[in-house]
Chain A
Amino acid sequence: GAVVSQHPSWVICKSGTSVKIECRSLDFQATTMFWYRQFPKQSLMLMATSNEGSKATYEQGVEKDKFLINHASLTLSTLTVTSAHPEDSSFYICSAKPGQGSEQYFGPGTRLTVT
């Protein structure tokens, strides 16, 4: 149980284009989902928290107009990186939290490379 998927697992895009990453909770309903960014050999940095049906809460320093988050259903959240630049290249990981539990379950991550 508690499986979270992400799609795509990796993506290469050109500078200036937008990329959408999907995060799905496969066997539970997630009232809250989280988006993290991880640089090589570093720990996870929380970007934003999203609750189903409401606007995401972004961490300090994260541009909400650049990283668009939508949590339209209890099993799906999307992160769109708009007008991507090479510095946006990173490993993006989502997590989902079941309504009744406190653990976060993580997806496998998406490797974004912007050329």
Chain B
Amino acid sequence: EDQVTQSPEALRLQEGESSSLNCSYTVSGLRGLFWYRQDPGKGPEFLFTLYSAGEEKEKERLKATLTKKESFLHITAPKPEDSATYLCAVRAGAGNMLTFGGGTRLMVKP
């Protein structure tokens, strides 16, 4: 059974204080690891897709990396507007479904 675990569950940062969010996964035949951002009362917003170990992608203050067991979402010099829940999901096997982790709720204080 595919499993995705995100840590920490919640993270409080001061504005400008860089940090990383972790997504550990156990799957058979990874076909993609996805990062989403979700604001309260909204649907998830797509951020990145990573397909193979060693792959990295960047977007503004965010950088996602992937190893064979986990993915990190690095946030450099965060701003209050980066406050949101960050979700990690994997797609494995032959199907299209995503398995989501529990999310990390990020709060950035000015």
Contact = CB atoms under 8 A, between A and B. Distances in A.
Interface of A: 2, 4, 6, 32, 34, 41-44, 46, 49, 91, 93, 95, 97, 102-109, 111
List the 10 closest pairs (A to B, CB-CB), nearest first: A106-B43, A106-B44, A43-B100, A109-B43, A108-B43, A43-B102, A93-B43, A44-B100, A107-B43, A43-B103
Given A42-B102, A93-B43, A103 B97 contact: no
Given A34-B97, A43-B87, A49-B97, 8 more contacts: A44-B100, A49-B95, A93-B43, A104-B98, A106-B36, A106-B43, A106-B44, A108-B43
Contacts of B98: 34, 46, 104
Interface string B90-110: 010001111011110100000
20 contacts: A2-B46, A43-B100, A43-B102, A44-B44, A44-B87, A46-B97, A46-B98, A93-B44, A95-B44, A102-B32, A104-B34, A104-B46, A105-B46, A106-B44, A106-B45, A107-B43, A108-B42, A108-B43, A109-B42, A109-B43
Given A44-B100, A102-B32, A103-B34, A109 B46 contact: no
Interface of B: 31-32, 34, 36, 41-46, 49, 87, 91, 95-98, 100-103, 105
